[in-house]
A and B are shown apart, each in its own frame.
Chain A
Amino acid sequence: MSEEKKKKKVVINDKVWLLISLCAALLLWYLLSLGKATGRSFPFADKVVPSVKTMIDRGAFWKDIRSSMLCVVAGFGLGFITSLPIAFLMAWYQPVQKIIEPWINFIRNIPALGYAPLLVLIFGVGQKPAIILIWICTFMTMSITIYQGIKNIDVTLIKAARVLGANDFDIFLKIICPATVPFIITAVRLGLGAALTTLLAAESTGAQYGIGMRIRSLSNSFEAAPMLMYIILLGIIGLLLVKVVDIIERKLTGWQEKIN
């Protein structure tokens, strides 16, 4: 349907669309940089791009990235490893779900910034509380998502497997696991998003380096250009992570029916 329509119109390549979108954003950015008030927050690219070098010269740039990535990867990794078994346990044993789920939903709605100080009281300042904070946030998002996914598996598939001679173990390994993969990927996507959005809160725990920490400190010294550069950097990292998940998704769930 949509293909037929496209043929009649001028076909614009996706890459060209991306370019157009980029130009539009640059134009908007430029206009913002001209304004008296908005110009203070949005210096144009000619000031922002060189600030990468400024930050490298200050010896902060790479350390910030490394520190933040370590927090994200470690926190997300721990969240992933722990959410999988908990999600399966919740789906399998109702008491586990009845006891845990309300609390996950309760804590999930509290902004991480709110309880970050509690973690500092326990673990002191530095990377440790930051990683744990990201762990908690990604764990909650992912365990709920995976749990919902397992709950929504089509029971006829389990019945079909059973009448073909599958035992409980077969059903877990050959039906539940593959049927859960799409939900795990959704959970990874949401979890990575949660990890990045929690980064700022996480690095408010007295981190020495980090993108979130740097944005805060640059804001205190009114250095708009490097600050904006760091914000854009955060966005680019997010986009790259999404791309990686997309590739994994295409590899693992090509069999899935999709509404286009």
Chain B
Amino acid sequence: MAGEDKLVKLKIDNVYKEYQGRNGKTVALNGVNLDIKENEFICVVGPSGCGKSTLLNIIAGLLEPTSGAVYLDGKQIEGTGVERGVVFQQYALFPWRTVIKNVMFGLEMKKTPKEEARQIALKYIEAVGLKGFENSYPKELSGGMKQRVAIARAYAANPEVLLLDEPFGALDAQTRVQLQTELLNTWEQEKKTCFFITHDVDEAIILAQRVIIMSARPGRIKRIVDIDIPYPRTQETKSDERFLKLKAEIWNEVYQEFLEVRK
């Protein structure tokens, strides 16, 4: 397994989650166990309804597991915390704040001195290639730019773990590829533990060190695939033999799950 000697950053311990619905209870997650190492890049793939978003929300502290627990550095998490940043699919930018004010939000909450916060925000805005847009409002930006701001905002708060919930799902194919490359670059410069949810198998392989395949109803981990392709990975990696082999393998597993859900 990749980097076995590294510390366990996040430990997902026997997480079980059920929802009480109108037609009785639905089990969203059943017995999910996973150790994520420091600075590891994990991608989770699986059909809709396999509970991958639920799992992310539990790690973020936005949802509570029915039973089981999540540990960060050995300490059980309770509620949200700034050490766990989240990037949402719907960007979730504050529309009444300019780009820089959005990026500064986390620092503002931490009571970072204003000038220092400004400098940090500017650094990340530049890192995501939005220099010159500091004073724009979200409505003036394209989808890809909005998600760049959201990533800069998450980074500026300096979390130890970055949780990304299908962050590029709403973007067009070209923008998506571009943002993948940028995210990889940022990750290589400033390693953070990344937990990235996607339904795009290509995306999962190009980004992750390990791909977690989830099965649906109830959601559980079906298989963990090590991606032993060295970084830096580029778009050319996608024609690499290893890539194609992994893609066929993972795609097949995910598709089977998809068919299972359709039944």
**B-contacting residues of A (Cβ < 8 Å)?**
154, 156-157, 159-166, 170, 174-175, 178-179, 181, 253-257
A159 touches B139 (CB 8 A): no
A165 touches B109 (CB 8 A): yes
B60: A residues at CB distance < 8 A: 163
Count of chain B residues near A, Cβ 8 A: 26
Minimum C-beta distance from B81 to chain A (A): 8
Minimum C-beta distance from A164 to chain B (A): 4
Minimum C-beta distance from B63 to chain A (A): 10
Answer yes or no: B66 CB below 8 A from chain A CBs: no
B109 touches A159 (CB 8 A): no
B86 touches A257 (CB 8 A): no
Answer yes or no: B14 CB below 8 A from chain A CBs: no
Which DSSP category, helix, strand, loop or mixed, fits chain B's interface? loop
Interface flags, B76-97, vs A, CB<8A=1, else 0: 0000111011101010111111
A160, A179, A257: the one contacting B92 at CB < 8 Å is: A160
B62 touches A165 (CB 8 A): no
Known: A159-B62, A175-B94, A179-B96. A165 touches B88 (CB 8 A): no
A165, A170, A254, A255: the one contacting B157 at CB < 8 Å is: A165
Known: A157-B92, A159-B92. A165 touches B82 (CB 8 A): yes
B138: A residues at CB distance < 8 A: 255
A161: B residues at CB distance < 8 A: 94, 105
- Number of A-B pairs, beta carbon distance below 8 Å: 63
Minimum C-beta distance from B106 to chain A (A): 4
Known: A159-B92, A179-B96, A257-B139. A164 touches B84 (CB 8 A): no
For the complex of A and B, the 7 pairs showing the least CB-CB separation, nearest first, are A165-B109, A160-B92, A164-B106, A257-B139, A165-B82, A156-B92, A178-B96
B153 touches A157 (CB 8 A): no
A159: B residues at CB distance < 8 A: 62, 86, 88, 92
Q: List 20 A-B contacts (CB under 8 A).
A: A154-B90, A154-B92, A157-B92, A159-B86, A159-B88, A160-B93, A162-B80, A163-B62, A163-B82, A164-B85, A164-B106, A165-B80, A165-B81, A165-B110, A165-B157, A166-B105, A170-B109, A178-B96, A179-B96, A255-B95
Minimum C-beta distance from B60 to chain A (A): 6
A163 touches B96 (CB 8 A): no
Answer yes or no: B137 CB below 8 A from chain A CBs: yes
Nearest A residue (CB) for B137: A255
> What separation, in Å, do the CA atoms of A31 and B106 have in the docked complex?
66
Interface flags, B87-119, vs A, CB<8A=1, else 0: 010101111110000000110011000000000
Known: A165-B109, A166-B109, A256-B139. A160 touches B88 (CB 8 A): yes
Nearest B residue (CB) for A254: B137
B92: A residues at CB distance < 8 A: 154, 156-157, 159-160
B106: A residues at CB distance < 8 A: 164-165
> What separation, in Å, do the CA atoms of A156 and B110 have in the docked complex?
20
B84: A residues at CB distance < 8 A: 163
B62 touches A162 (CB 8 A): yes
> What separation, in Å, do the CA atoms of A174 and B105 have in the docked complex?
10
Minimum C-beta distance from A177 to chain B (A): 10
Known: A157-B92, A163-B85. A255 touches B139 (CB 8 A): yes
> What separation, in Å, do the CA atoms of A199 and B93 have in the docked complex?
43
B97: A residues at CB distance < 8 A: 255
> What separation, in Å, do the CA atoms of A162 and B109 have in the docked complex?
10
B96 touches A164 (CB 8 A): no
Interface flags, B47-62, vs A, CB<8A=1, else 0: 0000000000000111
A163: B residues at CB distance < 8 A: 60-62, 80, 82, 84-86
Minimum C-beta distance from A136 to chain B (A): 32
> What separation, in Å, do the CA atoms of A157 and B88 have in the docked complex?
10
Minimum C-beta distance from A174 to chain B (A): 8
Minimum C-beta distance from B235 to chain A (A): 30
Known: A175-B94, A178-B96. A164 touches B109 (CB 8 A): yes
B95: A residues at CB distance < 8 A: 255-257
Nearest B residue (CB) for A175: B94
Nearest B residue (CB) for A157: B92
Additional A-B contacts beyond A164-B153, A181-B96, A255-B137 (18; CB < 8 A): A156-B90, A156-B92, A159-B62, A159-B88, A160-B92, A160-B93, A161-B94, A163-B82, A163-B85, A165-B106, A174-B105, A175-B94, A179-B96, A253-B96, A254-B137, A255-B95, A256-B95, A257-B139
